[in-house]
Structure 1
């Protein structure tokens, strides 16, 4: 360890410029913190590479890291780090399940929302992210609303997402005194029955069909109808007025031209009849007058962070790569990212010895400031007038300290 301290001091003394000094010290510390045998990068560097890769493509990530560090990464190396980090997230979740359950939270109302995001896979296949979020309400934060105690589950495997959501619900909450409100678009796997399994044992369960998807269904089916008809149907749904809804649907049917448009009206009629119980606004239901309304498009907004990274620009993913990226984004969204790498660092790397800590503490210690008496001033005896050449020289020497 004394050799390291000597090397640090020598590097500082031998550097001609600040940039040269910083580069040499960075090189030294990169080598020093690579404590694991045959490991090219430190744990912190791998953590930062994975973080950067959640917001830009692998080639751009490699370029950024190469510019700001002394390493040379390729995009294949970035992909390898992402894959390894995704496995670390999964291992951390498994460890959490094995630990003793935390004290249950008594929440009067718990909200569950779920949705899926389809994106492009390799070999012209379609992959899907199955996503669920659980929270206890909303509160104003400036002009925006913030979810209270939000927790997110996501995976490219449906069973994994719902299994984790069930584990979280029954580990985190004592549901016997809790009202559970679920929200979904009604797609395969996001119906009332699926959410009922997560809410098993709760005081009361209410399910809502996502308003955004209901309105989109109206717009798609009645694209030929005038805006007044579409708005009338939406208002009837909001007021949960079945009689008014039937009249507006009849009006839309009278405007339909051709068999296709008539079939669209009939499909919408069956869709609303099938989901009539679930489209009723929450504040109009019994015992739910004071609960927060789930905003339209809440499901869509929840998986926006995934769509920004995994869709567009012709991107396509393998199953393994997509799963790793989903786990990284979810861990960061849940503020578990530091804990994931902290757990790995405690097991994969040698612990830093106390002797090394003591030496580095001495090196980084600031030395106390030494007081000094300042500049010593003297005078020159001339034994002549100030206007004489010798007198002018003496006066100039006394004024030199001002310059």
Structure 2
């Protein structure tokens, strides 16, 4: 003992050594504790087997007992520690790696784990963690197809808000070519409420998929199973009017849900951006005229502003700009009714135009910085980001659903077989919504009420 200032790293290392000693003692104590139970169940102790596993507290090599019965091997210590066969990392460590990977590039995850735990992993370890998380996502989707029906208390809301837009990311194809791919992102909510000093979205749910049609089907299925639809329910939708997010497609969603009242808006952020891009280079005063026409929802003022813009563009005699203007003119006049401000329809302005802010958690992690993704990897990561944001990622790794899922698997019925049975049902009996949300079973049952089906 002396008065020299300690090196905290050395201090932690001493505690680490003590933790490892305690771990070995725990393994030995548990082996002794469970031995009588294993013998009572007819298992026979055969030998000790050594194993090396990396935990959050370091890499450990330990020996534990193996028990056999009718050719079946069980290792109680591994079961107690939640270790699967041939896995060199604990599930807790893989979970924490996955959590970090939703926020940081993989190489940064390696650095953070080394800094915080003095545990040395590689980029491949991070990939293994994401692969495990992707597998768990698929298994949880299968589990929802044949799990016991969960009674969901449906949300009663006079207005349901739905917004959709795409997040463009860079992906690598089979032949390593680089291309852009859209992740379809939809947000469902029931308006805003004050929480502290800020407003939050009530009953918010986000749905993301690399396939726009799949995302829309999941939207329909979720709203159907989680909201009480009445003759007075109003569906308010908002988008940039792009491909996959047109008023017609949102009207289809409203029709599929049996919602009689639907109002669509051209997202003001995207509308303003489109107007500024075309008008601002010619005249700031003209841009102001456009904005006033939109704010007052006066079509005559808008036509006057468009005519003025046309005269500016024709002076330049640039065919490309003239063609761009014609497209813009037809687009804004043809969709003028969707530019009406929400307050003119007695709707909460703060409840609309939220999609861009909801994009950020995905786009911040997955866009720019020279990142390229495989399509499957991008799909998995976008879902993991949403789970992490909603504090649901831990349930994916350690939730009760895992044990229930194993019971179904032990009975020999896979989720894939169940999906195949559902998809083979007669199409004449109704639209099948192929989505993985709780409550879907009830919807499928209702399609067959009063119908005779040949098994």
Q: How far 1:37 moved relative to its partner?
A: 2.9
Q: Determine if the alignment matches structure 1 residue 58 to structure 2 residue 106.
A: yes
Return the alpha-carbon distance in structure 2 between the equivalents of residues 253 and 297 of structure 1.
Answer: 29
Deviations 1:297-323 (A, max 9, x none): 522221111111111221111112111
Whether 1:329 and 2:377 are equivalent positions in the alignment is: no
Greater Cα radius of gyration, structure 1 or 2: 1
How many residue pairs were aligned?
331
Change (3 A) 1:272 1:70: same
3-state secondary structure, aligned to 2:155: coil
Matched, 1:268 2:328: yes
1:180 aligns with 2:228: no
Residue of structure 1 in register with 2:154 after alignment: 104
2:63 maps to what in 1? none
- Name the counterpart of 2:128: 80
In 2, Cα distance between the equivalents of 1:202 and 1:77?
48
In 2, Cα distance between equivalents of 1:67 and 1:348: 36
Residue of structure 1 equivalent to 2:90: 42
Question: SS at 2:168's partner residue?
Answer: strand
Match of 2:163 among 113, 116, 126: 113
Q: 1:254 is matched with which residue? A: 311
> Paired residue for 2:19?
25
Tell me how far 1:163 sits from its aligned partner. 2.1
SS at match of 1:110: strand
The residue that corresponds to 1:341 in the other structure is 397
TM-score by length of 1: 0.75
Whole-Å separation in 2 of the counterparts to 1:174 and 1:19: 57
Which residue of 2 is the match for residue 236 of structure 1? 293
Structure (1 or 2) with the greater strand fraction: 2
Q: Relative to structure 1, is the Cα distance of residues 18 and 318 closer, same or farther in structure 2, using a 3 angstrom cutoff? A: closer
> Alignment partner for residue 159 of structure 1, among 201, 204, 213?
213
Root-mean-square deviation (CA), in Å? 2.6
Give the drift of 1:227. Answer: 0.9
Q: Decide which of 113, 116, 137 is 2:191's aligned counterpart.
A: 137
Show CA shifts across 1:373-396 (max 9, x none).
xxxxxxxxxxxxxxxxxxxxxxxx
- On the 8 A contact 2:297/2:340 being kept in 1, the answer is yes
Q: Which residue of 2 aligns with 1:225?
A: 282
Aligned to 1:128: 182
Structure 1 SS opposite 2:349: coil
Cα separation, 2, equivalents of 1:39 and 1:282: 55
Per-residue Cα deviation, 1:171-198 (whole angstroms, up to 9, x for no partner): 1001224211011111111011222233
Distance 1:204 1:23 in 2: 67
Post-superposition offset of 1:222: 1.8
Is the contact made by 1:89 and 1:340 (CA closer than 8 Å) also made in structure 2? Answer: yes
Structure 1 distance, partners of 2:263, 2:142, is: 31
TM-score by length of 2: 0.67
Gaps of 5+ in 1: 1-15, 350-403
Residue 338 of structure 1: how far off its partner (Å): 2.5
Q: Is the 8 A contact 2:102 2:388 kept in 1?
A: no
- In structure 2, runs of 5+ residues without a counterpart are 1-9, 24-54, 61-76, 407-455
Q: CA deviation at 1:161?
A: 1.7
